[in-house]
A = this chain, B = another copy of it.
Amino acid sequence: MLAEIITIGDEILIGQIVDTNSAWMAKQLNQIGMKVKQITSVSDDAEHIMEALRLAESRADVILMTGGLGPTKDDITKVTLAKYFHMGFRRDEETLNHVTEIFARVNRPMIELNRKQADVPDGCTVIKNKNGTAPCMWFEERGKIFVSMPGVPFEMMYLMDDEIIPRIKAAFKLPVIYHKTILTSGIGESFLAMEIEAIENSLPESIKLAYLPKLGQVRLRLSTTGAEEAPLKAAVDFYAQQIIARIKTHVVAEEDIALEKAILNFMEERKLTLSTAESCTGGYIAHLITQHPGCSSVYEGGAVTYSYDLKMSLLGVKAETLANYGAVSEETVKEMALGAIKNFKTDYAVAVSGIAGPDGGMPDKPVGTVWIAVAHAKGVVSKVFNFGNKRTQNIERSAAAALSMILNELRQHED
């Protein structure tokens, strides 16, 4: 069974927003054994949507659409779907009541544009969108399923979780897709490939191995598909264990988790605590950590110290250190990390200070210069990096490097 995702909106094609919906939907579909064949982003244009629909219908069994709904989009998706299926419109009473309720709750008058949100192609089943006014529409035509959802991520997410996924599961007998991901750190893609070449060559046709590199990490993903989970899992795990044994020192996690989540798990098992002291990463490391439920058993908190004053008052960095070496220096970043351990009372602390750019570079410290330190009971280590002159990249790469350094220290001081 194949699915396709069509995201509709000029805002995607001019790069005004990043389409995060597709990845989230693809993940949910994959988990229930529905493979996504293609993701297509098209403009708010009826002809273009029609063409994308025709092509998707020719390839897939389920076509999920987001976006192109709402009064000011002229409900282009809805109108186009009606045309695509040669349907008329009906006003859906339940949707009208729901929209009326929402307007009453926020105490706003309803206008005709809002009432029109309750008009739907007459051959569709309406699924209530409890988080918004645009209804979700479900079509079963020519043996295939077409679903139109609003583009607002949290409206789409609730609809997928509560309605669409259960209905798709009920409509098809889906195969099991089994993935096993191994997260590695500190070894390049081609070296990994060389290390596990013999194992890779011994894989049966039915098991695929993929290498997914990302900022100092490589994920190895073994995938297979079949009727029942148990034998698939047994087969994949058999090879996964061989791989893990072969590259043991580089394996960070035996599941598909983020590096910071692997750190949280490692520290939680050992009852260790962590704090952060961030300058150029500006809270990004804290954000990465606190995305994960349950992080509070390890992570106490931290400081974002952009100014000299806060580096001194919150982290105890000495005025002389800042005056003599500057904020972006080994001396400062070490004092930041040690200050975090002391003031925030944690076992480990990570500190980052750098020039994120695009401006602020100096002859001896160009933009992209980043100092990172990790402190713990046995001392403090530090390292300097240069990540170039793109601010966003600098922040992301600094955070990735900081996480790798924490992990290294944790492993070295495991006993």
How far, in angstroms, from A223 to B10 measured CA to CA in the complex? 11
Contact status A23-B19, CB under 8 Å:
yes
A139: Cβ under 8 A from any B Cβ = no
Contacts of A345 in B (CB 8 A): 309
Once the chains bind, are A16 and B212 in contact (CB under 8 Å)? Answer: yes
What chain B residues lie within 8 Å of A309 (beta carbons)?
A: 300, 345
**Contact size class for A?**
35 or more
Assess whether B23 is in contact with A15, with CB atoms less than 8 Å apart.
yes
Within 8 A of B (CB), among A310-327: 310, 313-314
Q: Which residues from chain B contact A281 at a C-beta distance below 8 Å? A: 290
A287-B293 in contact given A23-B12, A302-B303, A393-B153 (Cβ < 8 Å): no
How would residues 10 to 43 of chain A score, 1 for a CB under 8 Å from any chain B CB and 0 otherwise?
A: 1111111111101111111110000111111111
Instruction: Note all chain B residues with C-beta closer than 8 A to A194.
Output: 111, 113
Whether B48 pairs with A38 at a CB distance below 8 angstroms is yes
Scoring A residues 254 to 289 as 1 if CB is less than 8 Å from chain B, else 0, what string do you get?
A: 001000000000000000000010101111111101
* Copies of this chain in its oligomeric complex: 2
What residues on B are CB-neighbors of A280 within 8 Å?
A: 290
Residues of chain B contacted by A211 (CB below 8 angstroms): 70, 72-73
The answer to whether A357 has its CB under 8 Å from any CB of chain B is: yes
Min CB–CB distance A216 → chain B (angstroms) = 11
- Interface assignment of A334: CB less than 8 Å from any CB of chain B: no
Residues on B with C-beta less than 8 A from A247 are: none
Q: A332 near B: Cβ within 8 Å?
A: no
Residue with the highest number of chain B CB atoms closer than 10 Å, among A22, A28, A219, A276: A22
Contact A15 B11 (CB under 8 A): no
Q: Would A314 and B307 count as touching, CB distance under 8 A?
A: no
Asked if A125 CB lies within 8 Å of chain B CBs, one says no
In the complex, the answer to whether B38 meets A193 with C-beta atoms within 8 Å is no
Taking a contact as CB atoms under 8 Å apart, the answer to whether B303 and A307 are in contact is: no
Q: Is A391 among interface residues, defined by CB-CB distance under 8 A?
A: yes
Measured CB to CB, the closest approach of chain B to A386, in angstroms, equals 12
Q: A11-B212, A42-B38, A43-B37 are in contact. Are A310 and B301 (CB under 8 A)?
A: yes
Interface centre among A14, A293, A313, by most chain B C-beta atoms within 10 angstroms, is A14
A351-398, CB < 8 A from B = 356-359, 388, 390-393, 395, 397
A51 to B291, CA, bound (A): 38
The smallest beta-carbon distance between A405 and chain B, in angstroms, is 17
B25 close to A22 (CB less than 8 A): no
Q: In whole angstroms, how far apart are the Cα atoms of A40 and B294 in the complex?
A: 36
A27 to B12, CA, bound (A): 9
A84 at the interface (CB under 8 A from B): no
- Asked if B310 and A344 sit within 8 Å, CB to CB, the answer is yes
A 175-194 binary contact with B (CB < 8 Å = 1; else 0): 00001000000001111111
> In the bound complex, do residue A283 and residue B293 qualify as a contact, i.e. CB atoms below 8 Å apart?
no
Q: Which residues of B contact A391 (CB under 8 A)?
A: 291, 293
Q: Which residues of B contact A388 (CB under 8 A)?
A: 131, 154, 158
- Cβ of A123 under 8 Å from chain B: no
Contact assessment for A296 and B306 in the assembled complex, using a CB-CB cutoff below 8 Å: yes
- B296–A289 contact, CB under 8 A? no
Which residues of the partner chain B approach A193 to less than 8 Å between Cβ atoms? 71-72, 113
For the complex of A and B, the 9 pairs showing the least CB-CB separation, nearest first, are A282-B290, A283-B286, A15-B27, A283-B283, A15-B26, A72-B211, A39-B41, A301-B310, A18-B23
Q: A71-B193, A158-B390, A296-B306 are in contact. List 11 more A-B contacts (CB 8 A).
A: A14-B36, A15-B24, A70-B189, A72-B190, A153-B393, A282-B291, A283-B287, A283-B290, A301-B305, A302-B303, A313-B343
